[in-house]
Amino acid sequence: MASKTSPAADSDSKTGKSASKPLLAADRIRKTAREMFYRDGIRAVGVDAIVNQAGVTNPSLYRSFSSKDELAAAYLRDYDAEFWARFDAACAAHPGDPRAQLLDYLTGMAGRAVQNGYRGCGLTNAAVEYPESEHPARAVAVEHKRELRRRLNAMATGMGAEDPEALADGLLLLIEGAFVSSQLFGEGGPAGRVAAMADKLIQAHLPRHPG
């Protein structure tokens, strides 16, 4: 799917760095860009704003990243890693039970999606911001969403769905809808029901046994 955990991030990984050890300039830039890009949008945040907030110089930024586009792609790769860390943790908690794995992840997501500061999925947001297929940021976002679709398909197959592809696509549409609607409704919004709705959708796609 790293920077600090917050309701604004649909992720849970930690940097592993000592709290007393100062971050290198490149790390400060990456951390600051991650916070600002997620909160305000990539296009809305200029390089000068990132540099000022991070307390570094422009040459420091361009020694680490050849352009703002490459910094945006790095932010999204970090976001991708954070997302999968959280998703995989839910899977590890329920070995061999893909339905429980997915519902565990979605239950956590439902809680985060109604908190202040939540801005949905940074990768979804980036895909909307950058329609150009060749843009580095969009490329990272598209690769992530294709992998999510593949994973959902595998999980739907593991659940024994009659039409795994249809269930996987339905779940993907539900998840993406939650990412977007959370930014419109906030607390009390429909995104808080994403796990419950997913469970109903899964049940509807499973074979009905007589008796």
d(CA 110, CA 74): 27
Would you list the domain boundaries of the chain? 24-65, 72-205
Task: Note if the pTM is more than 0.75.
Answer: yes
Largest CA distance in the chain: 71
- Write down the pLDDT at residue 39: 95
Which among 69, 80, 25, 77 has a CA at the least distance from the CA of 47?
A: 69
What CATH superfamily is the domain 24-65?
Answer: Homeodomain-like (1.10.10.60)
Contacts of 192 (CB under 8 A, 6+ apart): 110, 111, 113, 114
Mean per-residue pLDDT pooled into runs of 10, the chain (211 residues):
44 44 81 95 96 92 92 96 97 98 97 91 96 94 98 98 98 97 90 97 90 51
Q: Is 96 left (phi over 0), alpha (psi -120 to 50) or beta?
A: left
Q: What is the CATH number of domain 72-205?
A: 1.10.357.10
- Write down the pLDDT at residue 21: 63
| Phi, psi torsion values for 194, nearest 5 degrees | -60, -40
Which among 93, 118, 122, 123 has a CA at the least distance from the CA of 105?
A: 93
- Write down the pLDDT at residue 17: 46
d(CA 60, CA 119): 29
- Write down the pLDDT at residue 11: 44
Placement of tokens 């993907």 in the chain? 172
d(CA 3, CA 34): 7
Q: Is 194 left (phi over 0), alpha (psi -120 to 50) or beta?
A: alpha
Any idea how long the chain is? 211
- Write down the pLDDT at residue 20: 52
Burial class (CB in 10 A: 0-12, 13-18, 19+), 12: middle
> CA separation (Å) from 184 to 66, 67, 119, 190, 194?
35, 32, 9, 10, 15
The tens digit of pLDDT for each residue in 86-107 reads: 999 999 999 999 999 999 999 9
Residues 42, 138 contacting (CB under 8 angstroms): no
The tens digit of pLDDT for each residue in 34-51 reads: 999 999 999 999 999 999
